[in-house]
Structures are given as C-alpha cells and as structure tokens.
Structure 1
Amino acid sequence: MADNRSARAVVDSVCDSFADLPAPPDEPSTVDGPIGWPGYDAAHAGAAERTGERESVLCGTATFGGVRAVVIAFEFGFLGGSIGGRTGALLESGFGYARQNRLPVVSLVATGGSRMQEGMRALTQLQRVARQLALHRSAGLAHVSVLRDPSTGGGWATLGAGADVTLALPGAQVGFAGSRVRPPGDDLAYTAESQRDTGQVDEVVDGADLAAALLRWLRVLAGPRLDEAPLPEALGGTEPAQTGWEAVLAARAPARPRADSYVDAYVSGRVVISGDRCGGVDPGVLCGFGVRDGGAVAFAAQRGTATEPAGFRTLARLVRLADRLGIPVLTIVDTPGAANDGAAERAGAGAAIAGLFEVIASAAVPVTTLVIGEGGSGGALALATPGRTWVTPDGYFTVTSPEAAAAILKRETDEVPAIADRLRLRPADLLELGVVNGIVGGPR
C-alpha cells in the first residue's frame, strides 16, 4: 500500500531542520498541460489543494545531527508522486544547489513513475534527472536514497537505483513496473526485501530507525575523512611459520580472526553496502565505511570463503564509490580463491575479477591492503594494492593452492606439504620476494 504520510511529515521525522529552496520559475501555462489531457488542470489544482504543495516533490536544505544536506521528498498524495515537467525543474534546481554548496543529497522517494497526463514530455524528465545524477557524481558528492512505498517506474530507475547508497522501508513496493502494469504471479519480486536479497538495495530500515541510519551514512560519506587508511594491528598469532605448510594451516585455522573482527577493531559507526547492483549478493564479502581517528575510511574485505562474481563486483563498487568521494580504503584479503564452479562462470567470474583489478589499479585515493589469512591466487590478488600490501603472521599468498598445484603436476596428495614449501608462500618468503611491504605484528 502507498505511503500515507505527507512528504513534510516524513522530512520532519528524519531531519533536525528543513527549509524549502526557492522554486524555479514557473513554466509557460497551457490548457490541460503540454498534450491537452482533458481535466489535467483541475486534477493538478485539486492535488495542490489536498496536499498544500505546488508539485509532487519538495526540495530544501536540511540538517542531520549537524550535517547539512539537500533533501528531495516526494509527495505521493500529489498525483501519485508522479514526475512531470515541473517536477523535473524542481529536481534540477535541488541538485544544482547541492553542487554549488558542496552538499550531499538525500532523496525520499515515493512515486508511481512518470506523469502520463504530460505524455513524452514527462518521460523525458528522466533524462533530465539522470544528467543531474551524473553531474552530482562527477562533483564527488554523495547521494543517499530512501525507498518509500511505492517506489516504481522512473523514480526507481533514476533516483532510487542510481543512488550511491539505497535504503528502503520494510514492505515497500519497489520495481520498475507498477502493480497495475506488471505480469501477475510474482509480487514478492517487487518488494524492498527482495530487492535487498538480489543486490539492488543496501539495507531495509524500519521507519523508527531511519533518522539514525541516515545520520550514520551522512557522517561517513559527507564528513571529514582520513588522508590514508592506516594499517590495522594483527589480531591473531605472531609466531612466524617455519614451513609453507605450517603457514597454510595457520591461515586455515577455524579460530583465526576474520574480517569482521578486524573491521570491528578498526572503525566505529560502521555502515555497510550490500550487493553488486546486478542481481547478486555474496555474503563472503564485507564492504562499507566507518570512522577512525575522527575521519572516514572505507573497508573492502573478504571473509575467508571463495569469492563469487557478485562479491568481486561489490568490492569494486565500494572502492569506486570511496575513490569518487575521496575516502581512503583498507582492503582485507582472505580467500582460498575465486569461486570456480559452473555457476560462477555463468555469472561472469572473469569479467568481475577483471573489474576489481581495474578499479584498484585506477584508484586515486590511497588503498592499503592487509592479508589476514588465505591469499589464494588471482581471486585474492585482485583486491591487493601493488606496493601497499602487508601480511599478518598467520597469512599467506600463493600463485595457486598447494592442492591445486599437486593436481596440476599430477602429484600424490602426500606431496602437498612439500609443494607448499616450494611455492614460497610464507609471510617471510613474500617479504623476501618483494610481494609485501612488511609483516604486521611479526618480523619485518
């Protein structure tokens, strides 16, 4: 069901203060709109009288715990929050003000899509909005979108899906097709929860928690940031491995600290992005932002499982966003390697790994890498930064696993430990080979 709260009620519930921006000039008046839709003028006037708004969106400046932002809020009671020519002008004005004043944008979306009473002129407003989103991104500014109920059509396909971070209210209808025009039989696919589970939405947030969630996001995306991501302290064992196989066993030990422990010790106030925006979520990666030493830092971590294509795309998404916003990145390597089954190949494993290699190589912000466990082949190397990689005493890096090397060389399984030695994968070997800059918490 549609969100029955007014746009101003929603704004009041999440912001400390709000002030409307000056409206852009009125467009030339016509009878019943640009295509002469019978009764459009009367419907528009009735919507204004019912809601107290002149259009389906309101734009203003707001504060969230001291963080200033431009807020765009849709009024669903105004012709279903539909996007027309005047709506496009208001959105353009709001994003323009955000760029001029170096402010993030928070969009509170509740719309049924483009306004059919204005015909193609309404639909072309999506191009106008897309242009503003592109300019906002190019300016290095953040955009957080909140999907209310419903968020469909062009509003979803621009402001919602095109945001840096997308939050949604529980049970909200989210999808390109609205309920009256989509095929019957799969209504669950058009929910906030389904969009989260398929990598399109970062987090489903209860309305009572929305103000706090927005404040957490704005503090890291639009607040002070560090110059570079400092190295974390080693949390596991500090004894150097005497053999290659000993290093492998240490990295594979079930009790060894994993990425979640490292991130918890590294930052406070962490917020997490989820999903690759291509239909996939890999629970084996942990990506987000937090605060350390008074500044924002980003983290992109593997959790010790084989990384899936959706995981590589999510890691790349995080690094790309941090780079655009000027936030330094810590990458944490811990994977036996890339997932290599048929499903992974069909999901584009090669292209996903290539994309991560590219985004790490092209990042303008400093990217610091720490190998905390298994560093399995290219699936691990894709997340590592040349010349800025360290390893913990209970980590290793290898061209391929000892078991895979044995299979390739047609050796017996009892030769695997000896092959591990020959691969020279221990932290001390990596340091001697110049693969890492140092051993954190161990001999250097």
Structure 2
Amino acid sequence: MPSASDPLNWPGYPETLARARQQTGADESVTYGQVLIGDIDVMLIEFDFRFLGGSVGTATGDRLVHALSTARANGTPVVSLLATGGSRMQEGMFSLLQLQRVARECHLNRESGIPHIAVLRNPTTGGVWASLGAGADVILGLSGAQVAFGGSRVRSAEDADHPVFTSEGQFAAGLIDAVVTPDSLPVVLATWLELLTGGTPEPAEIPKALGGTELPATGWEAVMRARDAGRPRAAAYLESYFDAYQLISGDRAGGVDPGVLCGIGWRGGRSIAFAAQTGTATRAAGYRTASRLITMADLFGIPVLTLVDTPGAANDSASEAAGLADSISGVFTAVAAAHIPVTTLVIGEGGSGGALALAGAGRTWITPDAYFSVIAPELAAAILKREAGDDLADQLRLRPQDLLDLGIVDGIA
C-alpha cells in the first residue's frame, strides 16, 4: 500500500532509501541548521548528492519548508549549498509539487527581508535550481560545476558538453553573480553576509570629485570635459569611496552589460549599494541589473549610491529587441518605489533619459567635469535641424553651474 514515504508504492523504493541512509548516515538528501558564518548567524541548508542524487521528495520538501520558515521566524539569513539532480522520480508528481512549496517559502522570506545566498555545487540541475537556487538574492557558482535546468541525461547529445551548462557559462550569460573556488567560498560567503545585513537608513554620503575642480566657461567645454578619455571613471570612484565591495553580475534574464557596475560596498562600518555607469551607452541588461540591485537593497534596508556617466541608452537594433524601453522603465520604477534613500552623483556625461533613470529624485549632485542634458548637443541639432555648435550647448543649460541655478541638481561635488 502507498504510504507518506512511498506515495506511489514504487517497487524497491523503501530498500533504495534504506541503502542511501546507510551510505550517507543521513535520513534525507537535505540537512539544515543554524550555524555561524563569519560573525553572522545563518540558516544553512545543505544537499548531499550521494543521497539519491540530492533529489527532492516529499520528506525533503518538508525539511526545506521548515528550514526556510524557521529562518523567517528568527530573522536569520539563508545560505543554501546545492548539489542536486532535481525531483525524485520514485515519488512522481508528489515530488514535483515540492517545488511550489519551496518557491512560496522563498517568496515569503524575500518579502520579509531575509537575505538568501545560493551556492551552486556540482551538479545543480532540475527544479531545485529553478526554485531554490535561481531565486536567491546572490548566486555563487563553484568553478567547473554543472549548472542547468536540464541535467546531462536529458539533454541532446550535441549539447551534452556545451560550456553554457557550467557555472562559468551561467555567469557569462548573466544568470549567476560570481564563480568562486571551494577555497575562497568561506571568505566570500562571510563578506556577502556582512554586506547584506549591514544597512542603515541614512543616505549614502556624496563622493568627493576626483577630476578637475574648475567649472566650465561654456556648454561645449562642459561636454568636452565630460568626454575626456583621461577623466576619472566609475571604477576610480568606487575604489576611492569604499573600503571594500562585491559585485553582482547580470540581469538574470540572459544579459550582461559590462558598462554598468552594480554591487554592495562597505564604507565607514555600514553597507551601501551602488549602480554605476562607466561612460558607455547603457544596454537593456545594464538597466535590468541596476533594477535588481536597487530592489534588493530596498528589501534589506541598504541605501543606494548611483554614479551617472553615459552618453545615453544604447539605441541599436539589438538593444531595441532586448526591450530597452521596458528595462529603463524598470529602473525608474525601482527608484520611485524604493523606501531607502537613493543618492546620485553625475560624474561624466548625463545623456537624456538613459542617464536620468539612475538619478535619485531630490538627491542628485554633479562634479565640475560633468554635464546633464535632455540630449547630447549633436543629437539636439539633428532633431532641430540646426548646425551643432557652442550656442546650442549653451542654450541647453547643461553646465554644472547652470543645473544648480535651475534647481536640477542639489549641489556641485
């Protein structure tokens, strides 16, 4: 007769479970408990691939639900160490339904501001990757691990060894935040836990200007100074501003924009999140990554600093096909919905809506070697059917001092 532990009355399943328990010394494929990582008390969930391939059955689902709900009740972050082939065949749809239960608990934890870091070990496949793993706030993949929704036994022969089905491939596609080694994992976990739990409600301080301090005489001079290849860029500002920082990567939808740096840093004993443009035309993936960063920071009470530096949003056909307008809308919405303060410093070009999307309303400053404009002067000339020249740049009132006089910015850094 079927039982709770053998709902399909699968031939030989009780004996298979007994062997797995004897070989591993564990009752199920998942163990959990509260531990210290660094100085942070966390709920640690660990899968054992030796136990029926780390598969999830009904008893496993019960354990995951209890671990996640306990973390929520105690307000402790979750670290999940995955190594799984997915759902347990011997329990059929009863096994698959556990993914809904796990996804719900992850959602409730996220709504409650409980950080979750997932570590993808070899292998991480199937529904567990799609429910517990891919929904984590920060995702770390161990170097060389197989990571895929479809495991190697269910993929076509030509895709069996494709590099996309690895931690490195998932990172390149913008689906995980970093690839780490087993030796570096403890330090990386401790650092991320400190950053995710170290927010305070005070706004981020304004970074000091790293470039020239003299204000431009004309609008065109402001544009040329902002476009100067020797001007300090976002990376220099981040290094100067933070004691240390960690980057997230990718939009979790298959895209990466190296022209946008997003992450969380440590400054003066507290965490500050950042989204920084690096001077290139920003792509849809960059805006989506920034949205992800701002939304995550808001959930965990971490103030945000944005560094604006872009000639504008990328306007090529590939960007349009990638949903550029929707991705920009997502950043506007994330900033507007945020309960934490968003502080902005324009450090270079502030080109149109592609720059404004990252600007915090009412908390925007500008450096002397930057400009902010409805559009670049050359493009304004094309639209207005005029010759591009100094007079048009002046008429746009895009210099730092113009923007201050107009009340567009709060100050010049």
The interval holding the TM-score normalised by the smaller chain is over 0.9
Residue deviations 1:53-102 (CA, integer Å, cap 9, x gap): 10001101111121110000000000000001111111111111111111
Q: Which amino acid aligns with 1:274?
A: S
Q: Which amino acid aligns with 2:393?
A: A
Residue aligned with 1:180, SS = helix
Alignment pair present for 1:390 and 2:365? yes
Question: Distance in 2 between the 1:156 and 1:382 partners?
Answer: 32
Correspondence for 2:355: 380
Residue aligned with 2:118, SS = strand
Contact 1:59 1:71 (C-alpha < 8 Å) held by counterparts: yes
Following superposition, the deviation at residue 274 of structure 1 comes to: 0.2
Contact 2:284 2:323 (C-alpha < 8 Å) held by counterparts: yes
Alignment pair present for 1:141 and 2:126? no
Alignment pair present for 1:67 and 2:40? yes
Alignment pair present for 1:214 and 2:192? no
Q: Equivalent residues in 2 for 1:117-196 (5 A)?
A: 117-186=90-159, 187-196=162-171
Following superposition, the deviation at residue 386 of structure 1 comes to: 1.3
Following superposition, the deviation at residue 29 of structure 1 comes to: 8.2
Question: Distance in 2 between the 1:149 and 1:270 partners?
Answer: 27
User: Which of 43, 49, 64 is equivalent to 1:91?
Assistant: 64
Contact 1:144 1:165 (C-alpha < 8 Å) held by counterparts: yes
Q: Which amino acid aligns with 2:273?
A: A
Normalized against structure 2, the TM-score is what?
0.98
Correspondence for 2:333: 358
Alignment pair present for 1:265 and 2:240? yes
User: Which of 100, 107, 112 is equivalent to 2:85?
Assistant: 112
Alignment pair present for 1:49 and 2:37? no
Alignment pair present for 1:318 and 2:280? no
Q: Which amino acid aligns with 2:329?
A: A
Matched positions, count = 411
Question: Distance in 2 between the 1:210 and 1:31 partners?
Answer: 37
How much is the aligned-residue C-alpha RMSD, in angstroms? 1.3
Question: Distance in 1 between the 2:339 and 2:386 partners?
Answer: 44
Following superposition, the deviation at residue 211 of structure 1 comes to: 0.5
What percentage of residue pairs aligned between the two structures are identical?
57
Alignment pair present for 1:402 and 2:377? yes
User: Which of 196, 213, 220 is equivalent to 1:238?
Assistant: 213
Q: Which amino acid aligns with 2:311?
A: P
Following superposition, the deviation at residue 357 of structure 1 comes to: 0.6
Residue aligned with 2:360, SS = coil
Contact 1:308 1:338 (C-alpha < 8 Å) held by counterparts: yes
Q: Equivalent residues in 2 for 1:240-255 (5 A)?
A: 240-255=215-230
Following superposition, the deviation at residue 229 of structure 1 comes to: 0.8
Question: Distance in 2 between the 1:246 and 1:319 partners?
Answer: 33
Residue deviations 1:358-401 (CA, integer Å, cap 9, x gap): 11111100110110000000000000011110101111100010
Residue aligned with 1:135, SS = helix
Following superposition, the deviation at residue 227 of structure 1 comes to: 2.1
Correspondence for 2:307: 332
Question: Distance in 1 between the 2:349 and 2:371 partners?
Answer: 6
Q: Which amino acid aligns with 1:139?
A: S
Distance 1:59 1:419, change over 3 A: same
Following superposition, the deviation at residue 417 of structure 1 comes to: 2.4
Contact 1:148 1:172 (C-alpha < 8 Å) held by counterparts: yes
Structure 1 stretches lacking a partner, 5+ long: 1-27
Q: Which amino acid aligns with 1:376?
A: G
Residue aligned with 1:119, SS = helix
Normalized against structure 1, the TM-score is what?
0.91
Question: Distance in 2 between the 1:227 and 1:378 partners?
Answer: 27
Contact 2:199 2:272 (C-alpha < 8 Å) held by counterparts: no
Contact 1:226 1:296 (C-alpha < 8 Å) held by counterparts: no
Question: Distance in 2 between the 1:431 and 1:228 partners?
Answer: 21
Residue deviations 1:6-50 (CA, integer Å, cap 9, x gap): xxxxxxxxxxxxxxxxxxxxxx98287000110000000100000
Q: Which amino acid aligns with 2:282?
A: T
User: Which of 287, 294, 306 is equivalent to 2:269?
Assistant: 294
Q: Which amino acid aligns with 1:35?
A: L
Following superposition, the deviation at residue 226 of structure 1 comes to: 5.4
Residue aligned with 1:89, SS = helix
Residue deviations 1:106-155 (CA, integer Å, cap 9, x gap): 00000000001001000000000001101110111100000000100011
Residue aligned with 1:397, SS = strand
